[in-house]
Amino acid sequence: MRKPLIAGNWKMNKTNREAVALIGELAKVVKDAACDVVVCPVSICLSDVLKAAAGTNIKVGGQNMYHKDSGAYTGEVSPVMLKELGAEYVILGHSERRQYFKETDGDINLKTKAAMAHGLKPIVCVGETLEEREAGTTYKVIEEQLSGSLNELDPSKLELLVIAYEPVWAIGTGKTATSQDANEVIGFIRKKLAEILGAKAAEETRILYGGSVKGSNATELMNMPEIDGALVGGASLDAVEFGSIVNY
């Protein structure tokens, strides 16, 4: 049985003070959630956000990390650092990382392996652009992203893995994939996971949908059999709106 997971990706929003205040508001509205609730603030806010979230049902994750434990990698944070603070999750390969920071499937593969080796739960993002969708290559693109990012994972750590299907054209645009479309692509992802990681992992891995999820469409998306949760951007910055997604 896959436990639903709703994760908020705050992206480059909220100062430390604002982030801590948001946790205070969120704690009240998500306290009775039936799903796992995760927020991913910017890395410099993680320490205070984790303190603010202590004793609540809110789990915390990073938005990115480098795959090395430490070293001369200016500006990066490591899995060891995330883990020591108490972060449980880390978003990897978000389309904004792929697009603006030129991350490749190979980079995401290294990061995914490193996160799992340190007991972090990677939320590995895949999804097609509008051009790729219109060219009819959605499935091919996703297949490549999955096989490139999930290469040679440690079989004993697969229960940590989370996948997010985020069609790039639906992120921050107000356009949501129809729940049927999202369900179909996520069903395809599960089939590919079975080929790459085996049937058991495919059955147990949570696969989220992301792209303009809000309170008004969360229930319909969450009712689809293949969709195990949501990765929420814009709507996660408002406690009431995020609360209405979490309590779908």
List contacts with ligand PGA (CB under 6 A): 9, 166, 171-172, 210-213, 231-235
Alpha-carbon distances, residue 161 vs 19, 113, 122, 174 (angstroms): 26, 10, 6, 28
In the complex, the smallest distance separating the C-beta of residue 124 from ligand PGA, rounded to whole angstroms, is 12
- Cβ neighbour number for residue 6 with a 10 Å cutoff: 26
Active-site annotation holds for 166: yes
Q: Which is nearer to ligand PGA, 150 or 221 (CB)?
A: 221
Residue 118, SS3? coil
Q: From CA 179, how far away is CA 186, in angstroms rounded?
A: 10
State the number of CA atoms in the 13 A half-sphere of 84 facing the CB. Answer: 7
First to last CA, the chain: 19
* Residue 103, φ and ψ in degrees, nearest 5: -70, 140
In the complex, the smallest distance separating the C-beta of residue 194 from ligand PGA, rounded to whole angstroms, is 25
In the complex, the smallest distance separating the C-beta of residue 206 from ligand PGA, rounded to whole angstroms, is 15
Q: Which is nearer to ligand PGA, 77 or 232 (CB)?
A: 232
* Encoded tokens for 44: 């410099």
Catalytic residue among 67, 94, 128, 132: 94
Q: Which is nearer to ligand PGA, 151 or 244 (CB)?
A: 244
Catalytic residue among 103, 132, 166, 241: 166
In the complex, the smallest distance separating the C-beta of residue 152 from ligand PGA, rounded to whole angstroms, is 26
Residue 215, SS3? helix
Q: Which is nearer to ligand PGA, 171 or 201 (CB)?
A: 171
Amino acid identity of 119? Answer: G
Among candidate residues 76, 60, 78, the one with its CA nearest the CA of residue 68: 78
Active-site annotation, residues: 94, 166
